[in-house]
A = this chain, B = another copy of it.
Amino acid sequence: MNYEPLPELTNIEQLGEFALIYRLTKDLVIYNSSTQKGVGDDAAVLQFGDEYLVVTKDLLVEGVHFDVTYTPLTHLGYKSVAVNLSDIYAMNGVPTQIIIGLAVSSKYSVEALEDIYEGINAACKKYKVDLVGGDTTAIPSGLTISITAIGRVEKHRITYRRGAKVGDLICVSGSLGGAYCGLLVLQREKVAFMGNSATQPDLTPYTFVVERQLKPEPRRDITLQLLERDIIPTSMIDVSDGLASEILHLCKNSNKGAVVYEEHLPIDSRMATVAHEFEIDPATCALSGGEDYELLFTVSQSDYEKVKDMENISIIGHIKQVGKGANLITSSGQKVKLTSMGWDGLKLKRT
Protein backbone atom coordinates (compact mmCIF):
# COMPACT_ATOMS: atom_id res chain seq x y z
CA MET A 1 0.00 0.00 0.00
CA ASN A 2 1.07 3.59 -0.58
CA TYR A 3 -0.14 4.84 2.77
CA GLU A 4 2.46 3.65 5.23
CA PRO A 5 2.64 5.94 8.24
CA LEU A 6 4.98 8.81 7.52
CA PRO A 7 7.10 10.35 10.25
CA GLU A 8 4.89 13.42 10.55
CA LEU A 9 1.30 13.26 9.44
CA THR A 10 -0.88 16.26 10.13
CA ASN A 11 -3.95 15.88 12.29
CA ILE A 12 -7.02 17.33 10.56
CA GLU A 13 -8.61 18.67 13.72
CA GLN A 14 -5.45 20.52 14.72
CA LEU A 15 -5.20 22.18 11.33
CA GLY A 16 -8.83 23.39 11.47
CA GLU A 17 -11.51 23.62 8.81
CA PHE A 18 -10.51 26.82 7.06
CA ALA A 19 -6.78 26.06 6.94
CA LEU A 20 -7.64 22.58 5.63
CA ILE A 21 -9.84 23.93 2.84
CA TYR A 22 -7.09 26.37 1.90
CA ARG A 23 -4.48 23.62 1.81
CA LEU A 24 -6.65 21.32 -0.30
CA THR A 25 -7.82 23.92 -2.79
CA LYS A 26 -4.93 26.37 -3.10
CA ASP A 27 -3.80 25.01 -6.47
CA LEU A 28 -7.25 24.81 -8.04
CA VAL A 29 -7.40 25.42 -11.77
CA ILE A 30 -10.56 26.73 -13.44
CA TYR A 31 -11.26 25.39 -16.95
CA ASN A 32 -14.78 26.73 -17.68
CA SER A 33 -15.71 30.33 -18.31
CA SER A 34 -19.12 29.61 -16.73
CA THR A 35 -17.42 29.31 -13.33
CA GLN A 36 -17.98 32.79 -11.91
CA LYS A 37 -16.99 32.06 -8.31
CA GLY A 38 -15.68 28.78 -6.97
CA VAL A 39 -14.56 27.81 -3.48
CA GLY A 40 -14.74 30.46 -0.76
CA ASP A 41 -18.28 31.82 -0.41
CA ASP A 42 -21.61 30.52 0.87
CA ALA A 43 -22.24 28.98 -2.55
CA ALA A 44 -20.57 28.60 -5.93
CA VAL A 45 -21.74 30.98 -8.65
CA LEU A 46 -22.09 29.73 -12.22
CA GLN A 47 -23.14 31.64 -15.31
CA PHE A 48 -26.06 30.09 -17.14
CA GLY A 49 -27.82 32.23 -19.71
CA ASP A 50 -28.69 35.68 -18.38
CA GLU A 51 -28.69 34.60 -14.76
CA TYR A 52 -26.36 33.26 -12.18
CA LEU A 53 -26.87 29.83 -10.80
CA VAL A 54 -25.83 29.39 -7.16
CA VAL A 55 -25.01 25.95 -5.82
CA THR A 56 -24.11 24.85 -2.31
CA LYS A 57 -23.66 21.62 -0.43
CA ASP A 58 -23.74 20.89 3.29
CA LEU A 59 -23.28 17.58 5.04
CA LEU A 60 -25.04 16.69 8.30
CA VAL A 61 -23.36 13.82 10.11
CA GLU A 62 -24.81 11.88 13.04
CA GLY A 63 -22.67 12.35 16.12
CA VAL A 64 -21.22 15.59 14.74
CA HIS A 65 -24.09 17.81 13.60
CA PHE A 66 -26.98 16.06 15.26
CA ASP A 67 -27.84 13.61 18.03
CA VAL A 68 -30.85 11.42 17.26
CA THR A 69 -31.55 10.85 20.94
CA TYR A 70 -33.13 14.31 21.08
CA THR A 71 -33.61 15.25 17.42
CA PRO A 72 -36.93 14.17 15.91
CA LEU A 73 -36.18 12.83 12.42
CA THR A 74 -38.76 15.08 10.76
CA HIS A 75 -36.97 18.08 12.27
CA LEU A 76 -33.66 16.67 11.09
CA GLY A 77 -34.96 16.41 7.51
CA TYR A 78 -36.34 19.94 7.72
CA LYS A 79 -33.14 21.37 9.16
CA SER A 80 -30.93 19.63 6.60
CA VAL A 81 -32.81 21.48 3.86
CA ALA A 82 -33.01 24.74 5.82
CA VAL A 83 -29.25 25.07 6.35
CA ASN A 84 -28.62 24.66 2.62
CA LEU A 85 -31.31 27.14 1.59
CA SER A 86 -29.74 29.58 4.03
CA ASP A 87 -26.55 29.50 1.93
CA ILE A 88 -28.54 30.32 -1.22
CA TYR A 89 -30.29 33.27 0.49
CA ALA A 90 -26.85 34.41 1.66
CA MET A 91 -25.92 34.90 -2.01
CA ASN A 92 -29.13 36.97 -2.42
CA GLY A 93 -30.51 34.06 -4.46
CA VAL A 94 -33.81 32.23 -4.67
CA PRO A 95 -33.47 28.48 -4.08
CA THR A 96 -35.26 26.34 -6.65
CA GLN A 97 -34.05 22.74 -6.42
CA ILE A 98 -32.35 20.37 -3.99
CA ILE A 99 -30.70 16.98 -4.38
CA ILE A 100 -30.49 14.61 -1.42
CA GLY A 101 -27.79 12.10 -0.58
CA LEU A 102 -28.60 9.76 2.29
CA ALA A 103 -26.16 7.25 3.76
CA VAL A 104 -28.06 5.16 6.31
CA SER A 105 -27.05 2.31 8.58
CA SER A 106 -29.21 -0.68 9.32
CA LYS A 107 -30.43 0.74 12.63
CA TYR A 108 -32.73 2.97 10.59
CA SER A 109 -36.00 1.57 9.25
CA VAL A 110 -37.83 2.59 6.10
CA GLU A 111 -40.30 4.39 8.38
CA ALA A 112 -37.44 6.40 9.90
CA LEU A 113 -36.42 7.50 6.41
CA GLU A 114 -40.04 8.41 5.67
CA ASP A 115 -39.95 10.67 8.73
CA ILE A 116 -36.79 12.34 7.44
CA TYR A 117 -38.45 12.80 4.04
CA GLU A 118 -41.56 14.21 5.71
CA GLY A 119 -39.36 16.97 7.11
CA ILE A 120 -37.56 17.43 3.79
CA ASN A 121 -40.89 17.71 1.97
CA ALA A 122 -42.23 20.17 4.54
CA ALA A 123 -39.22 22.43 4.00
CA CYS A 124 -39.56 22.05 0.21
CA LYS A 125 -43.22 23.04 0.45
CA LYS A 126 -42.60 26.03 2.68
CA TYR A 127 -39.76 27.38 0.54
CA LYS A 128 -41.17 26.25 -2.82
CA VAL A 129 -38.13 24.18 -3.67
CA ASP A 130 -38.17 21.00 -5.78
CA LEU A 131 -36.48 17.79 -4.70
CA VAL A 132 -35.06 16.65 -8.03
CA GLY A 133 -32.81 13.71 -7.30
CA GLY A 134 -30.40 12.00 -5.08
CA ASP A 135 -28.63 8.92 -3.97
CA THR A 136 -29.48 6.56 -1.13
CA THR A 137 -26.86 4.14 0.09
CA ALA A 138 -25.87 2.03 3.06
CA ILE A 139 -23.22 3.11 5.56
CA PRO A 140 -21.68 0.85 8.24
CA SER A 141 -22.85 3.10 11.09
CA GLY A 142 -24.82 6.26 11.73
CA LEU A 143 -26.59 8.53 9.29
CA THR A 144 -25.15 11.13 6.95
CA ILE A 145 -27.31 13.56 5.01
CA SER A 146 -25.73 15.42 2.11
CA ILE A 147 -27.86 18.06 0.45
CA THR A 148 -27.05 20.14 -2.60
CA ALA A 149 -29.18 23.24 -3.06
CA ILE A 150 -29.46 25.12 -6.35
CA GLY A 151 -30.82 28.62 -6.76
CA ARG A 152 -30.85 31.47 -9.19
CA VAL A 153 -30.19 35.17 -8.92
CA GLU A 154 -30.25 38.07 -11.34
CA LYS A 155 -26.66 38.94 -12.15
CA HIS A 156 -26.77 42.45 -10.71
CA ARG A 157 -28.21 41.20 -7.41
CA ILE A 158 -25.57 38.54 -6.62
CA THR A 159 -24.00 39.27 -3.23
CA TYR A 160 -20.64 37.85 -2.21
CA ARG A 161 -18.71 37.92 1.04
CA ARG A 162 -16.37 40.40 -0.61
CA GLY A 163 -17.62 43.87 -1.41
CA ALA A 164 -18.06 45.64 1.95
CA LYS A 165 -16.84 49.28 1.84
CA VAL A 166 -15.59 51.54 4.61
CA GLY A 167 -18.58 53.15 6.31
CA ASP A 168 -21.06 50.46 5.27
CA LEU A 169 -23.61 49.53 7.91
CA ILE A 170 -23.44 46.01 9.36
CA CYS A 171 -26.91 44.47 9.64
CA VAL A 172 -28.09 41.15 11.01
CA SER A 173 -31.51 39.53 10.92
CA GLY A 174 -33.50 38.04 13.79
CA SER A 175 -31.81 37.27 17.08
CA LEU A 176 -28.60 35.43 17.87
CA GLY A 177 -27.42 32.77 20.32
CA GLY A 178 -30.73 30.94 20.62
CA ALA A 179 -29.70 27.82 18.73
CA TYR A 180 -26.64 27.41 20.94
CA CYS A 181 -28.69 27.78 24.14
CA GLY A 182 -31.14 25.24 22.76
CA LEU A 183 -28.27 22.82 22.27
CA LEU A 184 -27.12 23.36 25.86
CA VAL A 185 -30.62 22.56 27.14
CA LEU A 186 -30.98 19.44 25.00
CA GLN A 187 -27.56 18.15 26.01
CA ARG A 188 -28.31 18.74 29.70
CA GLU A 189 -31.67 16.99 29.48
CA LYS A 190 -30.10 14.08 27.61
CA VAL A 191 -27.63 13.53 30.45
CA ALA A 192 -30.44 13.78 33.02
CA PHE A 193 -32.61 11.41 30.98
CA MET A 194 -29.81 8.85 30.73
CA GLY A 195 -29.40 9.01 34.50
CA ASN A 196 -33.11 8.46 35.11
CA SER A 197 -35.04 7.43 32.02
CA ALA A 198 -38.30 7.10 33.99
CA THR A 199 -38.92 10.85 33.72
CA GLN A 200 -39.44 12.58 30.39
CA PRO A 201 -37.92 16.07 30.48
CA ASP A 202 -40.33 19.01 30.38
CA LEU A 203 -38.88 21.35 27.77
CA THR A 204 -41.81 23.78 27.78
CA PRO A 205 -39.87 26.62 29.44
CA TYR A 206 -37.24 26.25 26.73
CA THR A 207 -39.47 26.10 23.66
CA PHE A 208 -37.94 29.16 22.01
CA VAL A 209 -34.30 28.08 22.22
CA VAL A 210 -35.02 24.41 21.51
CA GLU A 211 -36.90 25.38 18.34
CA ARG A 212 -34.03 27.63 17.32
CA GLN A 213 -31.76 24.58 17.57
CA LEU A 214 -34.01 21.90 16.09
CA LYS A 215 -35.99 23.78 13.47
CA PRO A 216 -34.13 26.78 12.10
CA GLU A 217 -35.81 28.78 9.36
CA PRO A 218 -33.66 30.27 6.60
CA ARG A 219 -34.37 33.97 6.06
CA ARG A 220 -36.21 34.06 2.76
CA ASP A 221 -38.21 36.98 4.20
CA ILE A 222 -35.05 39.07 4.41
CA THR A 223 -34.01 38.52 0.79
CA LEU A 224 -37.59 39.32 -0.23
CA GLN A 225 -37.53 42.57 1.76
CA LEU A 226 -34.17 43.47 0.21
CA LEU A 227 -35.72 42.97 -3.23
CA GLU A 228 -38.87 44.94 -2.41
CA ARG A 229 -36.87 47.83 -1.01
CA ASP A 230 -34.41 47.76 -3.89
CA ILE A 231 -31.46 47.18 -1.59
CA ILE A 232 -28.45 45.20 -2.81
CA PRO A 233 -26.15 44.47 0.12
CA THR A 234 -22.47 45.13 -0.50
CA SER A 235 -21.61 41.80 1.16
CA MET A 236 -23.54 38.99 2.84
CA ILE A 237 -23.03 35.68 4.66
CA ASP A 238 -25.28 33.45 6.74
CA VAL A 239 -24.61 33.08 10.45
CA SER A 240 -23.89 29.38 10.80
CA ASP A 241 -20.65 29.41 12.80
CA GLY A 242 -21.34 32.37 15.11
CA LEU A 243 -21.57 36.13 14.49
CA ALA A 244 -17.94 36.94 15.35
CA SER A 245 -16.67 34.28 12.96
CA GLU A 246 -18.93 35.53 10.15
CA ILE A 247 -17.93 39.18 10.64
CA LEU A 248 -14.30 38.10 10.35
CA HIS A 249 -15.16 36.29 7.11
CA LEU A 250 -16.74 39.42 5.64
CA CYS A 251 -13.76 41.50 6.78
CA LYS A 252 -11.21 39.07 5.36
CA ASN A 253 -12.99 38.66 2.02
CA SER A 254 -13.62 42.40 1.70
CA ASN A 255 -10.17 43.33 3.05
CA LYS A 256 -11.73 45.62 5.64
CA GLY A 257 -12.08 46.08 9.39
CA ALA A 258 -15.26 46.42 11.43
CA VAL A 259 -16.69 47.71 14.66
CA VAL A 260 -19.69 46.11 16.32
CA TYR A 261 -21.55 47.40 19.40
CA GLU A 262 -22.55 44.97 22.13
CA GLU A 263 -25.58 47.11 22.98
CA HIS A 264 -26.92 46.63 19.45
CA LEU A 265 -26.58 42.83 19.35
CA PRO A 266 -30.04 41.29 18.81
CA ILE A 267 -30.60 39.35 22.02
CA ASP A 268 -33.96 37.75 22.67
CA SER A 269 -34.91 37.79 26.36
CA ARG A 270 -35.87 34.10 26.16
CA MET A 271 -32.34 33.28 25.05
CA ALA A 272 -30.84 35.55 27.72
CA THR A 273 -32.81 33.76 30.45
CA VAL A 274 -31.41 30.40 29.39
CA ALA A 275 -27.90 31.81 29.02
CA HIS A 276 -28.05 33.14 32.58
CA GLU A 277 -29.28 29.75 33.79
CA PHE A 278 -26.11 28.26 32.29
CA GLU A 279 -24.05 31.15 33.69
CA ILE A 280 -22.98 32.34 30.26
CA ASP A 281 -23.05 35.95 29.15
CA PRO A 282 -25.87 36.32 26.56
CA ALA A 283 -23.59 38.49 24.42
CA THR A 284 -21.09 35.63 24.27
CA CYS A 285 -23.86 33.33 23.04
CA ALA A 286 -24.82 35.90 20.42
CA LEU A 287 -21.23 36.35 19.25
CA SER A 288 -20.02 32.75 19.34
CA GLY A 289 -23.04 30.45 19.33
CA GLY A 290 -23.48 28.77 15.97
CA GLU A 291 -26.41 27.57 13.88
CA ASP A 292 -28.66 30.62 14.06
CA TYR A 293 -28.91 30.73 10.25
CA GLU A 294 -29.59 34.45 10.30
CA LEU A 295 -28.29 36.69 7.54
CA LEU A 296 -25.41 39.09 8.19
CA PHE A 297 -24.93 41.75 5.54
CA THR A 298 -23.52 45.17 4.87
CA VAL A 299 -25.26 48.04 3.08
CA SER A 300 -24.07 51.41 1.92
CA GLN A 301 -24.85 54.28 4.31
CA SER A 302 -26.94 55.78 1.52
CA ASP A 303 -29.33 52.87 2.03
CA TYR A 304 -29.83 53.73 5.71
CA GLU A 305 -33.34 55.11 5.21
CA LYS A 306 -34.35 51.96 3.33
CA VAL A 307 -32.85 49.57 5.85
CA LYS A 308 -33.66 51.24 9.17
CA ASP A 309 -37.29 50.15 9.33
CA MET A 310 -36.87 46.75 7.73
CA GLU A 311 -38.57 44.13 9.85
CA ASN A 312 -36.35 41.86 11.91
CA ILE A 313 -33.15 43.72 11.12
CA SER A 314 -30.65 45.18 13.59
CA ILE A 315 -27.87 47.55 12.60
CA ILE A 316 -25.03 46.42 14.83
CA GLY A 317 -21.99 48.33 13.61
CA HIS A 318 -20.12 49.49 10.56
CA ILE A 319 -17.18 48.67 8.32
CA LYS A 320 -13.77 50.24 8.98
CA GLN A 321 -10.46 50.33 7.18
CA VAL A 322 -8.56 47.06 7.29
CA GLY A 323 -5.88 48.54 9.56
CA LYS A 324 -8.46 49.21 12.28
CA GLY A 325 -9.09 45.49 12.81
CA ALA A 326 -12.41 43.98 13.80
CA ASN A 327 -13.55 44.99 17.26
CA LEU A 328 -16.46 44.85 19.65
CA ILE A 329 -17.34 47.89 21.74
CA THR A 330 -18.76 46.49 24.97
CA SER A 331 -21.68 48.03 26.83
CA SER A 332 -19.17 49.52 29.25
CA GLY A 333 -17.31 51.16 26.37
CA GLN A 334 -14.31 48.85 26.19
CA LYS A 335 -12.84 47.87 22.84
CA VAL A 336 -12.32 44.09 22.50
CA LYS A 337 -10.85 42.32 19.49
CA LEU A 338 -13.41 40.04 17.80
CA THR A 339 -12.21 36.45 17.75
CA SER A 340 -13.71 33.43 16.13
CA MET A 341 -14.69 30.85 18.69
CA GLY A 342 -17.56 29.49 16.70
CA TRP A 343 -18.58 26.06 15.67
CA ASP A 344 -16.01 24.01 13.79
CA GLY A 345 -17.50 21.06 11.97
CA LEU A 346 -14.17 19.28 12.02
CA LYS A 347 -14.35 18.85 15.77
CA LEU A 348 -16.53 16.12 17.17
CA LYS A 349 -18.08 18.47 19.71
CA ARG A 350 -21.28 16.59 20.18
CA THR A 351 -20.27 13.02 20.67
Q: Identify the A interface with B (CB < 8 A).
A: 1-3, 6, 9-13, 15, 17, 20-21, 23-25, 27-32, 34-35, 37-39, 41, 43-44, 46, 48-51, 53, 55-59, 61-65, 68-70, 72-74, 96-97, 99-101, 103-104, 106, 108-115, 117, 121, 124-125, 128-142, 144, 146, 148, 150, 152, 345-348, 351
Whether A96 and B34, one on each chain, are in contact in the complex, defined by CB atoms closer than 8 angstroms, is: yes
- Say yes or no: A140 contacts B138, CB within 8 Å: no
Which residues of chain B have C-beta atoms less than 8 A from A124's C-beta?
29, 31
Decide: B113 and A61 in contact? CB cutoff 8 A.
no
A-B CB proximity, top 6 nearest: A49-B49, A9-B109, A44-B132, A10-B110, A48-B48, A146-B146
How far is the CB of A11 from the nearest CB of chain B, in Å?
7
Q: B99 touching A55 by the CB < 8 A rule?
A: yes
Cα(A284)–Cα(B155), bound, Å: 53
Q: A9-B111, A35-B130, A152-B48 are in contact. Are A140 and B103 (CB under 8 A)?
A: no
Assuming the contacts A6-B111, A121-B27, asked whether A130 and B32 have C-beta atoms less than 8 A apart, the reply is: yes
A114 touches B55 (CB 8 A): no
| Cβ-defined contact, B146 with A10, below 8 A | no
User: A121 — which chain B residues lie within 8 A by C-beta?
Assistant: 27-29
Which residue on chain B has the smallest CB distance to residue A142?
A: B140
Q: Known contacts being A49-B48, A138-B13, A348-B140, is A103 close to B59, with CB within 8 Å?
A: yes
Tell me which residues across on chain B come within 8 A of A30, comparing CB atoms. Answer: 130
Q: Does the CB pair A110–B23 fall under 8 Å?
A: yes
Interface contacts beyond A28-B131, A48-B51, A141-B142: sample of 17 additional A-B pairs, CB < 8 Å, sorted by A? A12-B104, A20-B113, A29-B121, A30-B130, A31-B124, A31-B125, A34-B96, A46-B150, A57-B133, A57-B134, A57-B135, A59-B144, A64-B140, A137-B346, A138-B347, A139-B142, A144-B144
Would you call A38 and B110 a contact (CB within 8 A)?
A: no
A46 touches B351 (CB 8 A): no
Are B12 and A131 in contact, with the CB atoms below 8 A? no
- Given the known interface contacts A58-B135, A128-B32, the answer about A24 and B146 at a Cβ–Cβ threshold of 8 Å is no
Query: Are A139's CB and B144's CB within 8 A?
Result: yes
* A207 to B: closest C-beta gap in Å: 16
Asked if A53 and B48 make an inter-chain contact with CB atoms under 8 angstroms apart, the answer reads: yes
**CB distance A59 to B101 under 8 Å?**
yes
How many Å lie between the Cα of A129 and that of B46 in the bound state?
13
User: In the complex, what's the smallest C-beta–C-beta distance from A143 to chain B, in angstroms?
Assistant: 10
A345 adjacent to B59 (CB under 8 Å): no
Contact A13 B106 (CB under 8 A): yes
B41, B53, B59, B125: the one contacting A29 at CB < 8 Å is B125
CB closest chain-B residue, reference A45: B132
B48 touches A138 (CB 8 A): no
Q: CB < 8 Å: which of B12, B44, B72, B132 contacts A2?
A: B72
- Chain B: minimal CB distance from A30 (Å): 5
In the complex the two chains form, is A138's CB within 8 Å of B346's CB? Answer: yes
**Given A48-B48, A61-B103, A146-B146, A138 and B345 contact (CB-CB distance below 8 Å):** yes
Nearest to A2 among chain B residues (CB) is: B72
Q: Are A55 and B131 in contact (CB under 8 A)?
A: no
Contact (Cβ within 8 A) B128 A38: no
